[in-house]
Amino acid sequence: MPPVQWEARGEEALQGGRRIGRRPLGRLPSARRHGKGRTMATVLVVDDDPNIRAMLLRALRYEGYDVTAADGAEAARAAFARGGFDAILLDVRLPDGDGFRLLEAFRRSDPAVPILMLTARDDVESRVRGLDLGADDYVPKPFHLSELLARLRAQLRRRAVLAKGGVLRYADVEVDLGARKASRGGRPIPVTGKAFELLVYFLEHPEQVLAKEAILARLWGPEADTGPNAVEVYVAQLRQKLEEGGRPRLIHTVRGVGYVLREDGR
């Protein structure tokens, strides 16, 4: 069967904050064609590299997503202000701004939208900074497109579950899944991104020992090249937040294995 010429229905390209119209995305095998008008989610792509933007636009449209592309911070802010995105792919290095600051701005406005950082900066400090600022995932360049799409699908599935709402509780800790807010003893706990996911994971499995490998797979995916040190860093940060004000410890270390959420004496 001959390939089908795809048009970018619902996809917008922006440069410097202004729309420059719709673009054809080239030829793709007809075997993967989605039903007419079918869309899975709306995605904002922020990257100043035209080749990467074109590749992502083509691939995401191929998968059925509605896509808006921005080549810099100004264009990204303009697109985000119009709202309605289910996920954001964000490069760190932009010609007119810092991707980390843009991440902070997005996260302040929308605590729940999944944000995946795309960057050639793969040092541990950059990854930790991005995740601490609220990124949900950190994908180093160059990346395998199939893996990026799988990570995006995983984040969207997670968002769908959280959007259903519900509250998780253990001891005096409470997490509102829909609002992505946490508290202990009625006092807000400032957790976002991976720290929030880690707390949810513990609350989903109270008084069960969670191996470091299981935590790695839950937070970064089974194929992640992130080491166990990252788990130790996030557990330490989460403990600090949970124990503010002299609250008793809830997350305990099980030497040689991992961690467990339990009250002292249980």
Q: Do 165-261 and 4-162 fall under one CATH topology?
A: no
Phi and psi of 167, rounded to 5°? -130, 135
pLDDT at 30: 29
User: What pLDDT does residue 208 have?
Assistant: 86
Eight-class DSSP state of 245:
G
Crossing angle of the two packed helices 99-109 and 124-132, in degrees rounded to 10: 20
CATH code that applies to domain 165-261:
1.10.10.10
pLDDT value of position 161: 67
pLDDT in tens, the chain (266 residues): 232 222 233 334 444 443 333 333 333 332 233 443 444 689 999 999 999 999 999 999 999 999 999 999 999 999 998 877 999 999 999 999 999 999 999 988 887 789 999 988 777 788 888 888 888 888 888 888 999 999 899 888 877 766 666 788 999 999 988 788 999 999 999 998 889 989 998 998 889 888 888 888 788 776 666 777 889 999 999 999 999 989 999 999 999 889 999 998 65
Per domain, the residue ranges of the chain are 4-162, 165-261
What does the chain come to in residues?
A: 266
In CATH, the architecture of 4-162 is: 3-Layer(aba) Sandwich (3.40)
Contacts for 35 with CB less than 8 Å, ≥ 6 apart: none
Cα gap 67→41, rounded to integer Å: 9
Task: Return the pLDDT at 184.
Answer: 96
Burial class (CB in 10 A: 0-12, 13-18, 19+), 140: middle
